[in-house]
Structure 1
Amino acid sequence: MNNEREPMNANQGVDTKMHPQAYADSVTQQRAALPEIYGEVDFTLVPERLDEEATLDDERFTAVRDAVRRVFDQPKLLETMRNATMTGDRIADAYAALIPTLGFRNLVEMLETACQRGIDNVEDAPRELVDLIAAMETTPAWVDMTLVAQGARAERIPMATATPLAIRGAFLATFLNKYAALPMTMTGTLSDEAAAKRVFETASFFTATTLPGALDRSGKGFEAAAKVRLMHSMVRYHILNSGKWDVATYGIPIPQADQMPAGLIGVFLMSAQLLKKGQTNFTPAQRASVELSRYRCFLLGLPENLLGETPQEIVDLLIARHVSLREGYDDETCGALVRGTMEADLFDTSSITGRLHAWLENGFSKFVLIKSFLDGDTERAAAIGITFRRREKLAAGVAAGSLALKTAFYRVGLRLPVVSSRVDARLNRRLAELLDMYGHADFVTDADRYNLN
């Protein structure tokens, strides 16, 4: 066992809705707790990416002015987002800090063993791994696991129908801001092959978490979350030790603030639509989907104070993140990522079916990106290299119609007593087929391939 540090409480910084001052203290404590990663970081500075000059009248808030006004009326919320911009993952970061002594491959293998067979089966398990597994096993009181299971069961349908066609568009949304996208550039995600791998790993993670039992302690979703969490910490370790990362400009690589959209974007869009209709509460089915998202985020290391329960709380949090993140797009960072991802061949086009699927995906993923993340602005999309011409619009329309039919088939079929078990089994098979198509998800980051020039 490694005994150089005081053991971390399994719940530290994870399952407590911290007071803003306690959260701020936890930010500055990272340097003393993990000097191997944060020893050179000045946590008293305000990075350029944190837009402290933002005002309600800024042009970038035109489409969401009322929502932004609510955020400006909540200074503690903005302070929480500032802290989340400078916060990594102390528990997983501590494990990643063992790279020099144990090697990153060994860390990944020990984590896999701990997830699949239990921590007691890891020979000479370092205390940092024990702490990480314990933190993930200790489900907080604010998570309702019954709802999580219900949410996962329901989420199988969009994962089986919409995700294969929409995932690239949602993935591209993470590249639209240079302050948040830079780690992807530095970790070598610009090639077609690397971009395709990251798209499929993202789809694989979210799909795996919806399979029956996947989020149980011994489930594949639990393991995938642990590996994603470690991957993020490894990125922080390598980049902050490279001498090439400018904390004064970019803050912390992959901070908590940048993990929020990936885990919550679906429930954010749903919450925004509900509020637009004057609805302030979720239906039971919607609440289950929210709980699934919250639990996934918990497994990935996000604290409760970044995970809202009501439509208004969720919208306020994501809008606060939008307000705090300075607007910035440059072609060298964002454009290269967009082009690399759009040019990646995700599907086998050697057959007519494969070519049809690729055509539908190309149109629908662009539609998702433009509608959900670019406020429907096709001119802005074109400016960053995403065309949406008649051909893509036709593909998006056909895809939307097809998805509506498939979704209706599963929803109706699961409610009919005579065929529900068969439809249920078919849905699970479809998810298994998709996971096979996405390929094995390594969830690793190899520093030898980083672009640190």
Structure 2
Amino acid sequence: MPTHYPELHERVRRQAELLPVLYGDLDFDSQPYRTTTDPDDVSSLRGKPSTRAKLLADEAAVELISTTTWLGDVVSDSYAALMGRYSVSTLIGMLKQACREGIDAVPDAPPELAAFIADLETTPDWLDMELVRKGAEYSRPSMALLAPFAVRGAFIATFLNTYAALPMALTGALSGNRAARRVNETTSFFAVTTLPGALERHGPGFEAAAMVRLMHSMVRFNALKRSPKWDVAIYGLPIPQLDQMPAGMINLFVLAMDAHRQGRTEFSSSERAIVEFTRYRCVLLGLPEELLPTTPGEIIRVLSARSALLRDDFDDETCGELVRSTMAAYLRQEDTLRERIADSVEKSFSKFFFVRMFCGGKLPVAARMGVTLGAGDYIRLALVAPFVLGRNLLVERAVRIPALRDVTNAYVLRLLKRRLETYGTAEYTSDVADYTPAGSPA
């Protein structure tokens, strides 16, 4: 019996009662092959074996990871399960209308949609919404100035494990032109949520979070009920809340590691605001409080514990193909010489970010995963990095000067809106017709 997170455990078990069509056949008392606590097994955690041994000895951390491996999103999943009655476009249309105009504006709105919207509208009392608003403002410069050059590298980091990457591979969403669309949708989501008022009830970030959440539920439903390739005994639940945590919290992991290297156990006031903003964004995506720690040490512990229990596997047919197609994707909306140059610069930055953050700076490790840095990449970095990093540093200092704050914030906002235009219109859809065979059992 769980002793550290009994309420979370009960929430997982109740999924079968609340949505039997999706969860009724799942055994929540078991653990899929992807989860391992055997010290002799190789996990996704890099570094010293003693680090993993310490995490495996942490009973609370092991229980948290094991429990949330089975945690889905009953509210959103129930709405996605209506795909048998409504077309995907109809479900998306009703959700968009409910986000923009309210549930009462949707004619004959199904109760599942009303419950979904009500859940999105419920703000946990453990969140400080004033801090959330400040965090959005503090997050805006990096999304406008740095994220466009690193987001592809962060995106492919989510494909480095077969067990976690298979849901996306099954959808066929990262092959051909779909790869560019998914990268741009992801970048657009994180960018739009930092706009002023974006996460308010009728803001564009609120709607974007609802759409991302529905897309995940559609993938979950289609993988479990319509894909013969999905083996629950091996892969467990498709896109559990546990697997959404790394993407949602990656910015906080970077902050936490910086704080750790500086010997700090607490965040600064501005960093704490970014933490709260990120936590609220994750709440809108359906994540529970237990996966949203607030201190550098706890953030590192929880994310590391996930890697410590996630069995290591890099299947080239799944992970390698996802990495290669994503790195090759052309993300720009226009095909001009200027845009081609911008695309090549962005790819070089993304590859450098990936190698530094997820491969320990080791080029051979990155190469085995399909990411290589060549002479051309280093030349582009040498030419452009001083401008990119220098501009970011200048803006960070300018916003701290009262006389320059307003004009600097206006500049950042204009730039961010231009970035959003280049990402195109996000669709956030998943259709079983697009699904492709992918992955191989361990």
Does the aligned pair in 2 maintain the 1:38–1:240 contact within 8 Å?
no
Any idea what SS the aligned residue of 1:339 has? helix
Q: Deviations over 1:227-276 (max 9, x none)?
A: 10011011111111123310000010001110000110111121122123
Q: Find the counterpart in structure 2 of residue 3 from structure 1.
A: none
Q: Find the counterpart in structure 2 of residue 72 from structure 1.
A: 56
Q: Name the TM-score, length of structure 2 as normaliser.
A: 0.93
Q: Which of 183, 191, 201 lines up with 2:185 in the alignment?
A: 201
Q: Find the counterpart in structure 1 of residue 352 from structure 2.
A: 367
Q: Which of 182, 192, 196 lines up with 1:212 in the alignment?
A: 196
Q: Find the counterpart in structure 2 of residue 300 from structure 1.
A: 285
Q: Which of 394, 397, 413 lines up with 2:398 in the alignment?
A: 413
Structure 2 residues not aligned, in runs of 5+: none
Q: Deviations over 1:34-78 (max 9, x none)?
A: 1221233232322110012136x9686562556545423421221
1:105 aligns with 2:89: yes
Cα distance in 2 for residues equivalent to 1:38 and 1:452: 23
Q: Find the counterpart in structure 2 of residue 337 from structure 1.
A: 322
Q: Find the counterpart in structure 2 of residue 14 from structure 1.
A: none
Does the aligned pair in 2 maintain the 1:189–1:337 contact within 8 Å?
no
Matched letter for residue 360 of structure 1: V
Does the aligned pair in 2 maintain the 1:364–1:399 contact within 8 Å?
no
Aligned pairs (5 A) from 1:360-399: 360-399=345-384
Q: Find the counterpart in structure 2 of residue 225 from structure 1.
A: 209
Does the aligned pair in 1 maintain the 2:43–2:311 contact within 8 Å?
no
Of the structure 1 ranges 245-254 and 43-52, higher mean CA displacement relative to structure 2 is found in 43-52
Cα distance in 1 for residues equivalent to 2:195 and 2:50: 38
Cα distance in 2 for residues equivalent to 1:68 and 1:127: 45
1:290 aligns with 2:272: no
Does the aligned pair in 2 maintain the 1:67–1:319 contact within 8 Å?
no
1:443 aligns with 2:435: no
Q: CA RMSD in A?
A: 2.0
Matched letter for residue 34 of structure 1: L
Structure 1 residues not aligned, in runs of 5+: 1-17
Q: Which of 242, 249, 253 lines up with 1:257 in the alignment?
A: 242
1:48 aligns with 2:48: no
Superposition deviation, residue 20 in structure 1 = 1.6
Superposition deviation, residue 347 in structure 1 = 2.4
Matched letter for residue 365 of structure 1: S
CA separation of 1:416 and 1:76: change in aligned 2, threshold 3 A: closer
Superposition deviation, residue 408 in structure 1 = 2.5
Aligned pairs (5 A) from 1:128-277: 128-242=112-226, 243-277=228-262
Q: Name the TM-score, length of structure 1 as normaliser.
A: 0.91
Percent of aligned pairs sharing the same letter:
44
Aligned length: 435
1:82 aligns with 2:100: no
Superposition deviation, residue 95 in structure 1 = 1.1
1:119 aligns with 2:83: no
Superposition deviation, residue 293 in structure 1 = 0.8
Matched letter for residue 426 of structure 2: A
Matched letter for residue 149 of structure 2: L
Superposition deviation, residue 124 in structure 1 = 1.6
Q: Find the counterpart in structure 2 of residue 9 from structure 1.
A: none
Any idea what SS the aligned residue of 1:279 has? coil
CA separation of 1:375 and 1:107: change in aligned 2, threshold 3 A: same
Matched letter for residue 273 of structure 1: D
Any idea what SS the aligned residue of 1:201 has? helix
Any idea what SS the aligned residue of 2:47 has? helix
